C-alpha cells in the first residue's frame, strides 16, 4: 500500500528536514545527527511515536534502507539491553530492501563481535577461570584454547546462524578469491583451456571448504584475509589492550596472523564479560564500521555511489526499559571518540518524561525571539546550530553531560495536531540514478558482457575465417585461409606453431590411396603428415640441442589438393621429401644444423604471391632464414613472387621451375631445371629427325587454354615449341587451345578440327600437363583422320611425372611420344649416396632397395629438391660457420657440389642476369608396342654439371611404323 504522507504539520517539517540531509548525502558526507523527537507535553507522547512511524514508512517508500530497533531484548541492565538492540541489527534482513537500488547490506564486523559474545556465553559464567585442579596452561582447559575451540564450532559466526549460512565456507570470498587466483595462474602458466581453469578453481574451492570443516579447533582457512579481521586487528578501540602482542595480519604470514587474531579474540572476550559499556560501544563501533564500508564510494563495486540515501535507524519508543536511551548515548559517545563520519541517520521518539535522561543537549529551549517563526524555519536553525556546535561539542574538556551528536527537537502540541487532508505529499530528495549506478551495475554488466561476448565471438569468427590457426582473441598470422577453387579454403603461408598443412587435405592418404586423386597422386609412398611430423621432430631437436648453431631454409611448394581431381599435392610431397632427406642427412653429418620451414602456395601454387609475402614477413622476424627452396611452377605470378623474396633478401634455389626469364631478370634466382627455351632447343634434335626433306609436313602446337589461369609454363612451352618446329622446316598449322571442363581437358573439338581436314599434322608439340596426356591419346587413337596416321607428339618436362612403365599413362597405338625430363638419375646413381640415405630416412619405402627407377624417385622431383637444399645449405654454412642471408646469396655463386643425386651442382659459371650451362636433361621416347604394351627408352641425356652439347648422332631416335 502506498505511503499516504505525514498526518501532522510537525511531521511534514521534520520529513522535509530529513530529505534535505539526504539530498546533501548524495554528493557529500554531511554529519548525521541522532534526531530525538519529543513532545513538549507528555500527553502527546503517542503522537510523537506515530510521527516516527510515519517517517519510517515514508523513508521506506522512498527507497531508504530503514531498520527499527523495537521490543525489549534480553539483558539485566539498560546497557546490555541496548547492546541487544544493536546485536539484532547485524541481520541484513532487518534493513528492508524492498525499494532499495542496490543489494543487501553486509555486517561482518558486527557478526564477528556477536560470535565472540556467543562463544563466551556458551563457555559459561566461570570462564575464563581455569578448571578446578589447576590444569597446566597448555592443556585443553586453557581459557584461550577453550574460547578458540568454541569459536571453531561456531565457524566464527553467531550461534543464530541459519542452516544456509553453515555451508557458506564454500562461498566465502576468502575462499573464492584464492581459488580463483590459483585457477587463473594455473591456466596462464599451463596455457590450458577455460574449462581446465574452472575445474581447478572449483576443486581448490571444495578442498578449502573441506579443510575448513575437518580442521578442529582452528579458524576458517584464510580468516586473516577477511575484511572484519583487518578491522578487528587495526581499530584503535581494541589496540590499547594488545599486551605487546602482534597486532597486524599479513598475507605472507598466516601463522603469525592467526596467533594475533586468536590473542585479540581472547582479549575482547574477557573485556566483553567484564565491561558492559565496552560491550555496547564495541557493538556500536562495529555497526558504524560496517555501515561505513557498505557506503564506501571508492570500493570495487562503487557501492557508495549507488546507495545515494543514508541508512536510517528508527527508535519509535526509546526508553529505559528497552535500552533505547543508552543506545542513543552510546552512538554519541562512539562518534565523539572516533571523530569519523558514518552514514547512519538515527531518528528516535523519546517520552517527554524521559528526555532528561539524555542529559543536556546542544539545542535547548526555543529562544523567545524565534517562537513566532514557522516551525520549519526553527527546525533549520536548530540543525545549523547543532552542526556548528559539533566542532567543539566533542571536545574532551566539555562537560560529560553534553551529547554532541544528539539533536533534540521538541514538538509542540500545535505541530502534532492531526491534519484533515492526509493526502499531502512528502518531499523526496532526487532519486535519479547516479552515473556509477548506470555504468557499473548488474544490468550494465550484462549488457557489457553481451557486447563483449558478441565482439569476441565476431572477432574470433573473423580470425578463424582469416587464419589457419586461431584462438578466441589471437591467431597465428604466418598462415592465412584463402579461397579455393571449389568455394572452400586453402591454408596458405608458412607453417609455424601447431599449423600442419596435412590437416587441410580432404584425405591424408592423398599420397597414395585417395580414389578420386589423379594417377600421379597414387605414386607417393609417404604422406604429407609423415613428412611434416618428421621435419617438426628435426626442428625441435635443432632448437633444443643446437641453439645459435643452425640455419633455416623455407620449402615453398604446392601442398593443397585440387577439389576437381586435377592437380594433386604429389609434386609438393615429392619435393618436400627431398628437402627432408637433405635435412636428415645434414643434421646427422654436419655440426651446423638445418631447420626447415614449410610454406604452402596452394593448388598449382595459385596463391604463391600470398605465400611469398608470408615468407618475407616471417623472415623479417627470424634472421636464421637464409633462403627458399621450391617455387617449382612457372606462373604469371612468378615474377611478383621472386621480386617479393628478393626484396626480403632471400635467394631462391628451385629444383623444377624451368622459367627462362627468371634468371635473366633476378639475381636471387638459381634453378637446377633446364630452362624452357633450352629444353625445347634440345627437343629440336628430335624434331629435326622427324622432318623428311623435300616433303611438306604439317606441325601443330596444341596448348592448354590459360586465359583464366595463372599458368605461364604452358604459354612459354607453346611459344618456344612453335618457334622450334618452324625452324626445323615444318609447315605450322594454326595453334589450337583446349579447355578444361570440371577440371578435365576437352580435346574433341580441336581434334575434329586438325584431324578432319587434308592437313593432318605429323608432329604435334603438346604444351600441356601430364594429367592431360591420357585424354589426348584417347582422342588421337579414335578420331578419324588421326587414328590411322603415324603422329609424333613432342612435349616438355612436365611429362617426366608420367608413369608409362606401370601403365597409368597411355600412348595411342600410332603415336610416338617424345618428352624431356629434368633429371638424369641413372648415370649419377653409382656416385651418390642419395638412394641409401632415402632408404634410411624416408618413410613408406618398405624393405626393397631404393633405385633411380623406383616409382618414388623416377620423376626426379625428390632428387632435384634434395640437391637444391644441399646447395643452399652449402652456401649458408661456408667454412662450417652459419652465414647471414646476404652472405648466403653471394656464396651461392661459389657452389660446386659433386656426388649429388642429379650429378654435380655447379653455380660457379652462372652469370648475373643470364643463362647458365650444365643442366641435367633426359630426352625420352615412348611408343605403343605390337603386343599392346608401352615401351620407352632414353634417347640421350646429360647429367648435371656436364656442359657438353647434345648431338643428332647421340640423340638418334627409332622409327615406329
Contacts of residue 236, Cβ cutoff 8 Å, sequence gap at least 6: none
Q: pLDDT band at residue 5, thresholds of 50, 70 and 90?
A: confident
Per-residue pLDDT at 314 = 96
| Mean pLDDT over each residue of the chain, to the nearest integer | 84
DSSP secondary structure string, 514-547? Answer: -TTS-GGGG--SS-HHHHHHHHHHHHHHHHHH-T
Q: Residue 40 gets which letter from DSSP?
A: S
Tell me whether the omega of the peptide bond preceding residue 128 falls within 30 degrees of 0, making it cis: yes
Instruction: Supply the pLDDT for residue 18.
Output: 92
C-alpha cell at 342: 558514518
Q: What percent of the chain has pLDDT over 70?
A: 83
User: 595 or 188: whose pLDDT is higher?
Assistant: 595
Strands 736-741 vs 744-746: parallel, antiparallel or unpaired: antiparallel
Question: Is 905:917 a contact under the CB 8 Å cutoff?
Answer: no
- Look up the pTM and report it: 0.68
Cα 738 from Cα 741, distance rounded (Å):
10
pLDDT value at residue 670 = 96
Q: What is the Cα–Cα distance from 154 to 414, expressed in whole angstroms? A: 54
Burial tier of 708 (Cβ tally within 10 Å: 0-12, 13-18, 19+): exposed
The region of weakest confidence among 271-280, 580-589, 819-828, 949-958 is 271-280
Whose CA is closest to 714, among 705, 723, 722?
705
pLDDT of residue 291 exceeding 60: yes
| pLDDT value for 403 | 86
Mean pLDDT computed over 81-110: 85
* Predicted confidence band of residue 797 (pLDDT cuts 50, 70, 90): confident
Strand order in the sheet with 475-483: 467-470, 475-483, 489-494, 593-600, 550-557, 625-630, 652-654, 669-671
Question: pLDDT, tens digit, for every residue of 362-406?
Answer: 444 444 444 567 888 888 888 888 888 887 666 655 555 578 899
Range among 150-154, 199-203, 570-574, 598-602 rated most confident: 598-602
Which of residues 288 and 126 earns the better pLDDT score? 288
Band the pLDDT of 546: cuts 50, 70, 90.
Answer: very high
For the purposes of burial, counting CB atoms within 10 Å of the CB of 496, is it exposed (0-12), middle (13-18) or buried (19 or more)?
middle
Q: pLDDT tens digits, residue range 763-772?
A: 999 998 888 9
Buried b (16+ CB within 10 A) or exposed e, 238-253: beeeeeeebbebeeee
For the stretch 487-519, pLDDT in tens is: 788 999 999 999 999 998 876 444 444 433 444
Provide mean pLDDT across the span 331-345: 88
Given a contact cutoff of 8 angstroms between Cβ atoms, the answer to whether 713 and 798 are in contact is: yes
874, 896 contact by CB (below 8 A): no
b/e burial code for range 360-377 (CB count within 10 A of at least 16 → b): ebbbeebeeeeeeeebbe
**662, 642 in Cβ contact below 8 A?**
yes
Of the listed ranges 240-244, 538-542, 573-577, 725-729, the one predicted with least confidence: 240-244
User: What pLDDT does residue 150 have?
Assistant: 86
- Cα 128 from Cα 144, distance rounded (Å): 8
Alpha helix ranges (H) inside 107-226:
108-123, 143-153, 163-166, 173-190, 194-214
pLDDT of residue 687: 95
pLDDT digits (tens, 9 = 90+) for 44-92: 999 999 999 999 999 988 889 999 988 778 777 889 899 999 999 999 9
306-315 pLDDT, tens digit per residue, is: 888 999 999 9
pLDDT at 956: 94
Amino acid at each position: 500500500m502506498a505511503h499516504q504522507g505525514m498526518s501532522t504539520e510537525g511531521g511534514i517539517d521534520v520529513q522535509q528536514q530529513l530529505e534535505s540531509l539526504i539530498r546533501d548525502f548524495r554528493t557529500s558526507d554531511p554529519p548525521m545527527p541522532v534526531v530525538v523527537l519529543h513532545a513538549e507535553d507528555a500527553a502527546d507522547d503517542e503522537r510523537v511515536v506515530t510521527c516516527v512511524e510515519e517517517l519510517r514508512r515514508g523513508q521506506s517508500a522512498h527507497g531508504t534502507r530503514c531498520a527499527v530497533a523495537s521490543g525489549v531484548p534480553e539483558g539485566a541492565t539498560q546497557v546490555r539491553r541496548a547492546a541487544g538492540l544493536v546485536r539484532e541489527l547485524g541481520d541484513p534482513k532487518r534493513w528492508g530492501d524492498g525499494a532499495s537500488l542496490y543489494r543487501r547490506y553486509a555486517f561482518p564486523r558486527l557478526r564477528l563481535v556477536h560470535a565472540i559474545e556467543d562463544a563466551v556465553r556458551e563457555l559459561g559464567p566461570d570462564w575464563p577461570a581455569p578448571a578446578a585442579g589447576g590444569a597446566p596452561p597448555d592443556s585443553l582447559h586453557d581459557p584461550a584454547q577453550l574460547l578458540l575451540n568454541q569459536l571453531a564450532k561456531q565457524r566464527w559466526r553467531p550461534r543464530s546462524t541459519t542452516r544456509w549460512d553453515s555451508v557458506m565456507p564454500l562461498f566465502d570470498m576468502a575462499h573464492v578469491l584464492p581459488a580463483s587466483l590459483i585457477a587463473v595462474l594455473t591456466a596462464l602458466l599451463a596455457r590450458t583451456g577455460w574449462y581446465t581453469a574452472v575445474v581447478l578453481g572449483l576443486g581448490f574451492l571444495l578442498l578449502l571448504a573441506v579443510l575448513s570443516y575437518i580442521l578442529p579447533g582452528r579458524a576458517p582457512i584464510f580468516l586473516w584475509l577477511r575484511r572484519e579481521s583487518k578491522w578487528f586487528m587495526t581499530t584503535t578501540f581494541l589496540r590499547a589492550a594488545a599486551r605487546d602482542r602482534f597486532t597486524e595480519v599479513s598475507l605472507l604470514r598466516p601463522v603469525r596472523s592467526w596467533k594475533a587474531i586468536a590473542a585479540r579474540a581472547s582479549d575482547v572476550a574477557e573485556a566483553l564479560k567484564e565491561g558492559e559499556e565496552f560491550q555496547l560501544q564495541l557493538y556500536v563501533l562495529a555497526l558504524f564500521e560496517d555501515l561505513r564500508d557498505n557506503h564506501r564510494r571508492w570500493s570495487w563495486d562503487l557501492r557508495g555511489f549507488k546507495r545515494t540515501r543514508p541508512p536510517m535507524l528508527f527508535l519509535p519508543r526509546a526508553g529505559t526499559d528497552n535500552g533505547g536511551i543508552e543506545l542513543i548515548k552510546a552512538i554519541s559517545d562512539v562518534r565523539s571518540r572516533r571523530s569519523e563520519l558514518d552514514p547512519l541517520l538515527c531518528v528516535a521518539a523519546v517520552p517527554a518524561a524521559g528526555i532528561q535522561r539524555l542529559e543536556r543537549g546542544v539545542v535547548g529551549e526555543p529562544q523567545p525571539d524565534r517562537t513566532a517563526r514557522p516551525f520549519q524555519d526553527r527546525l533549520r536553525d536548530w540543525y545549523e546550530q547543532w552542526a556548528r556546535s559539533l566542532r567543539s561539542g566533542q571536545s574532551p574538556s566539555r562537560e560529560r553531560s553534553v551529547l554532541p551528536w544528539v539533536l533534540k527537537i521538541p514538538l509542540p502540541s500545535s505541530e502534532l495536531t492531526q491534519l484533515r487532508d492526509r493526502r499531502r505529499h512528502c518531499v523526496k530528495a532526487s532519486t535519479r540514478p547516479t552515473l556509477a549506478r548506470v555504468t557499473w551495475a548488474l544490468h550494465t554488466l550484462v549488457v557489457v558482457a553481451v557486447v563483449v561476448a558478441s565482439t569476441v565471438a565476431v572477432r574470433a569468427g573473423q580470425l578463424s575465417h582469416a587464419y589457419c590457426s586461431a584462438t578466441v582473441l589471437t591467431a597465428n598470422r604466418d598462415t592465412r585461409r584463402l579461397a579455393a577453387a571449389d568455394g572452400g579454403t586453402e591454408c596458405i603461408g608458412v607453417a609455424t606453431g601447431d599449423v600442419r598443412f596435412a590437416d587441410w587435405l580432404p584425405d591424408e592418404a592423398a599420397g597414395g590411396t585417395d580414389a578420386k586423386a589423379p594417377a600421379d597422386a597414387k605414386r607417393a609412398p609417404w604422406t604429407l603428415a609423415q613428412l611434416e611430423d618428421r621435419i617438426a621432430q628435426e626442428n625441435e631437436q635443432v632448437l633444443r640441442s643446437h641453439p645459435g648453431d643452425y640455419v633455416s631454409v623455407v620449402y615453398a611448394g604446392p601442398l593443397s589438393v585440387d577439389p576437381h581431381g586435377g592437380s594433386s599435392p604429389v609434386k609438393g610431397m615429392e619435393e618436400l621429401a627431398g628437402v627432408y632427406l637433405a635435412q636428415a642427412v645434414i643434421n646427422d653429418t654436419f655440426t651446423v644444423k638445418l631447420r626447415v620451414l614449410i610454406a604452402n602456395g596452394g593448388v598449382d601454387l595459385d596463391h604463391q604471391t600470398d605465400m611469398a609475402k608470408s615468407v618475407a614477413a616471417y623472415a623479417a622476424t627470424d634472421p636464421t632464414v637464409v633462403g627458399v627452396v621450391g617455387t617449382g611452377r612457372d606462373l604469371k605470378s612468378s615474377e611478383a613472387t621472386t621480386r617479393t623474396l628478393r626484396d626480403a633478401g632471400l635467394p631462391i634455389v628451385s629444383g623444377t621451375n624451368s622459367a627462362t626469364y627468371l634468371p635473366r631478370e633476378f639475381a636471387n634466382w638459381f634453378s637446377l631445371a633446364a630452362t624452357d627455351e633450352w629444353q625445347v632447343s634440345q627437343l629440336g634434335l628430335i624434331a629435326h629427325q622427324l622432318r623428311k626433306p623435300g616433303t611438306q609436313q604439317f606441325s601443330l602446337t596444341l596448348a592448354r587454354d590459360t586465359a583464366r589461369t595463372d599458368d605461364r609454363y604452358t604459354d612459354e612451352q607453346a611459344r618456344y615449341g612453335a618457334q622450334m618446329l618452324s625452324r626445323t622446316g615444318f609447315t605450322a598449322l594454326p595453334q589450337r587451345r583446349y579447355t578444361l571442363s570440371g577440371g578435365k581437358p576437352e580435346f574433341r573439338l580441336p581434334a575434329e578440327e586438325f584431324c578432319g581436314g587434308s592437313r593432318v599434322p605429323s608432329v604435334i608439340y603438346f604444351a600441356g600437363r601430364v594429367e592431360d596426356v591420357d585424354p589426348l591419346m584417347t582422342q588421337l587413337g579414335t578420331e578419324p583422320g588421326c587414328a590411322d596416321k603415324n603422329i609424333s607428339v613432342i612435349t616438355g618436362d612436365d611429362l617426366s611425372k608420367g608413369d608409362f612403365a606401370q601403365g597409368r599413362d597411355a600412348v595411342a597405338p600410332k603415336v610416338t611420344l617424345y618428352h624431356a625430363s629434368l633429371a638424369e638419375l641413372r648415370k649419377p646413381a653409382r656416385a651418390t649416396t642419395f638412394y641409401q640415405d632415402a632408404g634410411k630416412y624416408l618413410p613408406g619405402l618398405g624393405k626393397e632397395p631404393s633405385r633411380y627407377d623406383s616409382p618414388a624417385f623416377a620423376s626426379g622431383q625428390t632428387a632435384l629438391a634434395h640437391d637444391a637444399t644441399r646447395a643452399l645449405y652449402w652456401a649458408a654454412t661456408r667454412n662450417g660457420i652459419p652465414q647471414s642471408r646476404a652472405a648466403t646469396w653471394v656464396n651461392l655463386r661459389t657452389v660446386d657440389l659433386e656426388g649429388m643425386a642429379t650429378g654435380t651442382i655447379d653455380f660457379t659459371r652462372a652469370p648475373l642476369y643470364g643463362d647458365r650451362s650444365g643442366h641435367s636433361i633426359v630426352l625420352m621416347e615412348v611408343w605403343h608396342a605390337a603386343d599392346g604394351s608401352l615401351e620407352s627408352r632414353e634417347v640421350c641425356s646429360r647429367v648435371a654439371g656436364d656442359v657438353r652439347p647434345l648431338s643428332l648422332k647421340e640423340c638418334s631416335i627409332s622409327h615406329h611404323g
